[in-house]
Structure 1
Amino acid sequence: FDPIVFDGRDPAAYVWAIFEMEHRLTVAAEAIRLGKACYPVRLPYGVAVAPKGAGFYGEGTPASHNLPLGGNPREDATAASHFNEGARELWVPLQELTGVIGKFQHHKDSGRLLERDHSLAHRKVKLSNLPSLEYRTVPKDRLDDSARTFACPMEAVDRVFLSAVQANPHLRPRIGNPDEMRSNRMNRTLDALKHRVTDPEPDSAESIQGAVITALNEEAVASAALGNKGGINLIVTYEAFGSKMFGVIRQEVIFANHCREAGRPPHWLSIPLVLTSHTYENGKNEQSHQDPGMAESMMSESSDVSRVFFPADYNTTAAVMHAVYQTHGQTWTLVVPKADTLPDLFTPEEASRLLHEGGIRLDWAGYLPDRARLILTAVGAYQLIEVLKASKRLKEKKIEHAVVYLLEPCRLRLARSEGEQRHCLDAKRKAFLYPEEVLARLFVSHIRPEILMGILQPLWTSDTVGLGYINRGGTLNTNGMLFVNRSSWAHCLEQAAVLLDLQPEDLLSDNELKALAGKRSPEGVIL
């Protein structure tokens, strides 16, 4: 960087600083053209130094951070005197002000656009080419463990994003990356677009012109993507570190929402924020890396602008990634597993339905779902696996039940605005997923159950239970994390028994009950 410090109380100093920064960049570019220097060029930036509240009463004092007059000038003569004294110093007569304004109105002479006509004010970014989507084949019997195929959902993020970038070279790509691109399975993207560095190492995925902005500063790398309004962007992070990005991403959501409310909807491409190496996958780093808080926070924002998805497999992840760049001005948060052991469960048609409807009933799971006594709902890839295991036991016991998967649970919330009302599922679709006569409802979620149940308040009945992350963790594998957070298939059955007025032993064996009660190890019994 090349900082320029100037007097922040002098308007002329601002003009000088702008010219000086332009001059320094011009000199640097010419030196590179002549072969006397090379990139990267130090970036000039101005530092305007001025006391807080400069030019007004109380400048440079703690009072200037709030209301410096010390009273209401309408009622307090001293406060009024201080106000008038300061305002007089800042006053510019209208005739003088008009003359100065005129000096900025020579656009025709210089060929400069009016600010209101600048492309930044009318940016309309779109894909010129939409790459075809390659789905994985799903086995005929998805409940047959021996017939299952497996894949890494994060590879869908990698493939779909890179294909969109390569098919649209007119769009500058930016990837915000706090750390661990390869660990997060973004190998193709990294090899093609490379880390942006000042001094590339040989035989490495590094370049001065790299599109992957990497720094151990989550807010900074997120801003690199958010600021690239004319391009195509992606943010990928360990889930637990997403919370460090929340402040700046929330400002993006608020600004986009204000634009819509003002009748000027944003036309930059929507940005996916991918949360991976997530709570149920990151045992090696203990609880510091086990936190679903970012998804929970984004779910609290306006759901028609801040959309939160929980893809269950490769195909659902691919469908979401394929769709995000066909929308504008939204932030899509995706909670995506990075393990390559996730079963292929959803056909391309089902993945598309999940995307467009937010949730579907799994016709290939459950038992006599049209006569269901219980509805099992999963939110999250690993949670769905546990729900399907529980469903298998219920089917063996011939207990009628349905299985629902929610990809975008916020579409079933109680709408808080007109935008959310348009985005939420209609009453007919909600009634199909959750018939009012089926009171027993069990939700198993990636996030904290209290958060999910608050969002899904319209679905509450007298017999509704939520399971999910309860702040338990450690150096555990995925199954261990599910067990200590009481979200395993056995915990699902334990709660199902309560909801169905059954005895626990009606659904679980003696050893399984002992494991749930902590009287024996769950290894080899539940895990």
Structure 2
Amino acid sequence: MTAVEARPSVLSGTELAQVDALWRAANYLSAGQIYLMANPLLREQLRPEHVKPRLLGHWGTSPGLNFVYAHLNRAILAHDLNAMLVTGPGHGGPALLANTWLEGSYTDAWPEVTRDAAGMAELFRQFSFPGGVPSHVAPQVPGSIHEGGELGYSLAHAFGAAFDNPGLLVACVVGDGEAETGPLATSWHANKFLDPVRDGAVLPILHLNGYKIANPTVLSRIPPAELDALLRGYGYEPIHVEGSDPVTMHQAMASSLDAAVATLAERRGVWPMIVLRSPKGWTGPSVVDGKPVEGTWRAHQVPLAEVRHNADHLKQLEDWLLSYRPAELFDERGRPVTEVTAMIPVGERRMGANPHANGGVLLRPLTLPDTASHAAPVATPGATVAEPTRVLGRYLRDVFALNAERANFRLFGPDETASNRLDAVYDVTAKEWQAAVEPVDEHLARDGRVLEVLSEHLCQGWLEGYLLSGRHGLFSCYEAFVHIVDSMVNQHIKWLRVHRQIPWRRPVASLNYLLTSHVWRQDHNGFSHQDPGFVDHVANKSSEVVRVYFPPDTNTLLEVAAHCLRSRDYVNVVVAGKNDTPNWLDAEQAALHCARGVSIWEWASTHTDREPDVVLACAGDAPTLEVLAAAQILRQELPDLAVRVVNVVDLMRLQPEAEHPHGLSDREYDALFTPDRPVIFAYHGYPWLIHRLAYRRTGHHDLHVRGYTEHGTTTTPFDMLVLNHLDRFQLVIDVLDRVPGLAATAGVLRQRMTEAQGRHRRYIRTHGEDLPEVRHWTWEG
């Protein structure tokens, strides 16, 4: 069924008039936001001074979004739906602002923007105006969980919101430009992970208006049969609505939505979708300056660009706005008339007031296990080893079990849950899977709470939608490949930064990353899997939102994980290893260390009764081990040298307190690192990040950082450290070179360290494994 004429008319004459009035009112308000700063109801002749000096909005997608919103409102009323809307087209802000203002949810959120002529004037003025609201769908818009500036994420967000929300319909408008992006192309597969019984439903609405900024869109130009086959291949039953005549389109859209809702109500695992084909800039100017506009790329942004200086454009704008007949739509006080509001739901049934789109309203704290009950036993530092993420997996297993009835926690990852040693969770839950299952498969179930798909984009989008609609989650990923979502986390951080400043937005659960299989233990996979730079990327972002943790062992990882799962409105990045790691701190010590974020490890330091001669600092599990090994060499070889060992678990503690909420004051920083003694800092990632975080500190000129310097290959674990000058022998050499007087008196020790590095290189090339003294090293305090 591809022609709108093929479906029956379902709207009565009155209903048709009402849905059309609502659509026209939203179109009028959308255009008015782009152009007008005065005379909002056109009750006097339009003059240049009524028009904004800078025209910054986007018209092209707005009438189609308004059309969808009006018809979803009708369907909500007709079928008593609990529905929310995610909009993918980039700059659809005018449409969502218009519709939430018409339904009153915008005024509920922003009482100063009243639902009358004065409020309409404010709605118009604030749009894309200094001190106002953006041209895209941002956190300021009630009912939204999706930042509309960057394309590709809408459908993933919609599915994330639908997980564990039975009875919720998430309608998602996918723009045809957006449909060309990689993340969106992957998101069509999300229907293989949505349980028709336990989860909500997602109704994709692919909006084909034919053009992007300056080019046609792929899906609008391929043959209709090919498009239909593509969507059916993705597992959808497409319902096509196409045309430009309002009466015919209204009837077609109403019957199509009714059919889609009926199919979803059957809960038989068949997912309908709507393909809406309408002109870009529908109902706007058809021709401007002799060139076609409506239905072309010229309608994308501002169809009439010279309104203030071109009398013809000004008259054409006035005629355009008056074509919606605003005098019929708004009463003498500027309020929407009954015919406009008749198709608008009330209360929380309004899409702008749906609590799932303000997830903090619904958020309930997780019940978390006691970290001490999972802690690795530590009688003396380093005497035992554990796989940190394997222990964390058992902790997460209990998180799932304790919150099973609420069904408000999920684990997301790209096919790496077992690889990252978190597979204990399969004791209590499985991997969600709605497609075919073969006898050889393991841990697949239709009601699983682990979501794995080999697309970091889709994992991230699902998690964002899940969090913003009021639940909790964790994203586990190989460290090198989390970069794939760099741009997505940018958008989420920006969303959180604005969201935190909006009084009616309630705090949501933090977005938690566990980055493991990290750079220092990707010796088997090689250079392609070695990149610790995601932390650098995140550290550039808003300090009130970003947190970065480097737990050095198992018990600190447990403490950090519990803290992150309790936190709100942050992006937490936790970097931890999955291989055997010495257990340095017992449960009580780990809790205290994590609370401090950075502390002196007295048990590893020497001559703690006086000022240190040198500070050995570390952040990360592998650097911590190397610092302790270097400290042990110095303790044995230079017993009179006062060495202070400082471990950093909360990386942002290095920043000054004026730059980050977790930052140390200068007095606190100097008390740890000293203002005038050499500091040798062994860091997990790129060394220049430490310099950037600490460059304002008094002793920065004495700070020498070792870290990853893009020297990677397939080799042994210790050789990775040697290649990047982060090994224990190099750290000892750095101490000898930077503590005054040692270079002249400890030449023999320096030579022995250099010889050890050479011996290491020869040994691994002969035996294929690290030196015994490295492999079997243990701490001797």
TM-score normalized by the length of structure 1: 0.86
Match of 2:649 in 1: 407
Match of 1:444 in 2: 682
Query: Which string of whole-angstrom CA distances, capped at 9 and with x for unpartnered residues, describes residues 83-138 of structure 1?
Result: 5565555x441432523432145538xx9468437354352422363322224355
Is residue 2:753 matched to residue 1:512? Answer: yes
Match of 1:496 in 2: 735
Is residue 2:536 matched to residue 1:296? Answer: yes
Counterpart residue identity of residue 573, structure 2: T
Aligned ranges 1:270-281 → 2 under 5 Å: 270-281=510-521
| Contact 1:393/1:507, CA 8 A, preserved across alignment | no
Query: What SS class does the counterpart of residue 404 from structure 1 fall into?
Result: strand
Is residue 2:568 matched to residue 1:332? Answer: no
| Contact 2:733/2:753, CA 8 A, preserved across alignment | no
Please list every run of 5 or more consecutive structure 2 residues that lacks an aligned counterpart in the other structure: 1-235, 331-335, 765-770, 775-781
Aligned ranges 1:230-245 → 2 under 5 Å: 230-245=470-485
Counterpart residue identity of residue 163, structure 1: D
Match of 1:343 in 2: 582
Match of 1:35 in 2: none
* Match of residue 74, structure 1, among 303, 308, 315: 308
Aligned ranges 1:453-464 → 2 under 5 Å: 453-459=691-697, 460-464=699-703
Percent sequence identity is 23
Aligned ranges 1:184-263 → 2 under 5 Å: 184-197=420-433, 198-202=435-439, 204-229=442-467, 230-263=470-503
Is residue 2:387 matched to residue 1:152? Answer: yes
Match of 1:49 in 2: 277
* Match of residue 476, structure 1, among 690, 694, 715: 715
Structure whose alpha-carbon radius of gyration is higher:
2
Note closer, same or farther for the CA distance 1:209–1:413 as it changes in structure 2 (3 Å cut): same
Query: What SS class does the counterpart of residue 574 from structure 2 fall into?
Result: strand
For the residues of structure 2 that align with 1:361 and 1:507, how far apart are their CA atoms? 29
Is residue 2:326 matched to residue 1:93? Answer: yes
Note closer, same or farther for the CA distance 1:312–1:87 as it changes in structure 2 (3 Å cut): same
For the residues of structure 2 that align with 1:150 and 1:76, how far apart are their CA atoms? 77
Query: Which string of whole-angstrom CA distances, capped at 9 and with x for unpartnered residues, describes residues 476-509 of structure 1?
Result: 2321111111111111122222221332854735
Query: What SS class does the counterpart of residue 285 from structure 1 fall into?
Result: coil
Note closer, same or farther for the CA distance 1:74–1:478 as it changes in structure 2 (3 Å cut): same
Displacement, 1:518?
9.9
Match of 1:162 in 2: 397
Displacement, 1:65?
4.9
Match of 2:215 in 1: none
For the residues of structure 2 that align with 1:8 and 1:400, how far apart are their CA atoms? 81
For the residues of structure 1 that align with 2:669 and 2:701, how far apart are their CA atoms? 18
| Contact 1:353/1:360, CA 8 A, preserved across alignment | no
Equivalences, count: 506
Displacement, 1:338?
0.8
| Contact 2:379/2:586, CA 8 A, preserved across alignment | no
Q: Structure 1 residues 503-512 or 151-160, which shifts more?
A: 503-512
Q: Structure 1 residues 489-498 or 51-60, which shifts more?
A: 51-60
Q: Structure 1 residues 160-169 or 125-134, which shifts more?
A: 125-134
Query: Which string of whole-angstrom CA distances, capped at 9 and with x for unpartnered residues, describes residues 316-375 of structure 1?
Result: 111111122222222211111011x20000122232223222211101112124420211
| Contact 2:378/2:585, CA 8 A, preserved across alignment | no
Counterpart residue identity of residue 213, structure 1: L
Aligned ranges 1:342-421 → 2 under 5 Å: 342-369=581-608, 370-396=610-636, 397-398=638-639, 399-414=641-656, 420=660
| Contact 1:161/1:321, CA 8 A, preserved across alignment | no
Note closer, same or farther for the CA distance 1:512–1:401 as it changes in structure 2 (3 Å cut): closer
Note closer, same or farther for the CA distance 1:433–1:409 as it changes in structure 2 (3 Å cut): same
Q: Structure 1 residues 71-80 or 349-358, which shifts more?
A: 71-80
Match of 2:202 in 1: none
Note closer, same or farther for the CA distance 1:79–1:490 as it changes in structure 2 (3 Å cut): farther
Is residue 2:512 matched to residue 1:268? Answer: no
| Contact 2:413/2:459, CA 8 A, preserved across alignment | yes
For the residues of structure 1 that align with 2:569 and 2:409, how far apart are their CA atoms? 16
| Contact 1:199/1:208, CA 8 A, preserved across alignment | no
Counterpart residue identity of residue 749, structure 2: L
Note closer, same or farther for the CA distance 1:378–1:211 as it changes in structure 2 (3 Å cut): same
| Contact 2:397/2:427, CA 8 A, preserved across alignment | no
| Contact 1:136/1:344, CA 8 A, preserved across alignment | no
CA RMSD of aligned residues (A): 3.1
| Contact 2:366/2:566, CA 8 A, preserved across alignment | no
Counterpart residue identity of residue 199, structure 1: A
| Contact 1:21/1:44, CA 8 A, preserved across alignment | no
Query: Which string of whole-angstrom CA distances, capped at 9 and with x for unpartnered residues, describes residues 453-496 of structure 1?
Result: 11222334222111101011010232111111111111112222
Match of 1:173 in 2: 409
Displacement, 1:238?
0.8
Note closer, same or farther for the CA distance 1:59–1:182 as it changes in structure 2 (3 Å cut): same
Note closer, same or farther for the CA distance 1:114–1:183 as it changes in structure 2 (3 Å cut): closer
* Match of residue 521, structure 1, among 752, 759, 762: 762
Query: What SS class does the counterpart of residue 443 from structure 1 fall into?
Result: strand
Note closer, same or farther for the CA distance 1:76–1:299 as it changes in structure 2 (3 Å cut): same
Please list every run of 5 or more consecutive structure 1 residues that lacks an aligned counterpart in the other structure: 33-37
| Contact 1:446/1:469, CA 8 A, preserved across alignment | yes
Counterpart residue identity of residue 73, structure 1: V
Query: Which string of whole-angstrom CA distances, capped at 9 and with x for unpartnered residues, describes residues 231-273 of structure 1?
Result: 2211111111101122222222211111112234543222321
Note closer, same or farther for the CA distance 1:428–1:470 as it changes in structure 2 (3 Å cut): same
Match of 1:26 in 2: 262
| Contact 2:496/2:569, CA 8 A, preserved across alignment | yes
For the residues of structure 1 that align with 2:708 and 2:237, how far apart are their CA atoms? 47
For the residues of structure 1 that align with 2:623 and 2:760, how far apart are their CA atoms? 25
| Contact 1:315/1:348, CA 8 A, preserved across alignment | yes
Note closer, same or farther for the CA distance 1:411–1:84 as it changes in structure 2 (3 Å cut): farther
